[in-house]
Amino acid sequence: MKTRHILVVLLLITLAAKAQQPANTVLDNKVHKMVMQFTSADSAEQATVVAQVRNIRTVWPKAEIEVVCQGGGLELLVASKSKAAKAVAEWSAKGVVFAACNNSMRRQNVKKEELLPSAIIVPSALVELVQKQETGWAYLKAAH
């Protein structure tokens, strides 16, 4: 019984120490793969998705991230509408992929030339999300 109490106390001390780590501490250097679905045209949401990318890469520097933009989220990648173009370029240069849904582009009459230079185009956002998940990538709903 006494040993059990000691183990519980040690576990609680360990958990408390981990909880007190600064937010910008690297948790590990493993390669984590995640695909983020972004669907909002709201400029605050554009800032939020970029902040989420930054937060992930702060604690997991080797994380592979793809942000798939569809519907209203396509505005993040349209040069004339993006409120986060500079951040998209910065994170793209660091290996984060920003993908535009071709179906959304077609519906919104957006041409490839209108996208930020670092954006890639995928045929279908939903297909891209499923394919990534089928190969072990974690799914995240971006922003909100």
The predicted-structure confidence for 73-129, as pLDDT tens digits, reads as follows 999 999 999 999 999 999 999 999 999 999 999 999 999 999 999 999 999 999 999
Among the residue ranges 22-31, 60-69, 93-102, the one predicted with the least confidence is 22-31
User: What pLDDT, on the 0 to 100 scale, is given for residue 2?
Assistant: 56
The domain over range 30-141 is classified in CATH as 3.40.1260.10: yes
- Which two structure tokens, joined as six digits, stand for 95? 């290996």
pLDDT the model gives residue 58: 95
The pLDDT, as a whole number, for residue 19 is: 47
**CB neighbours of residue 44 within 10 Å:** 9
Mean pLDDT across the chain = 88
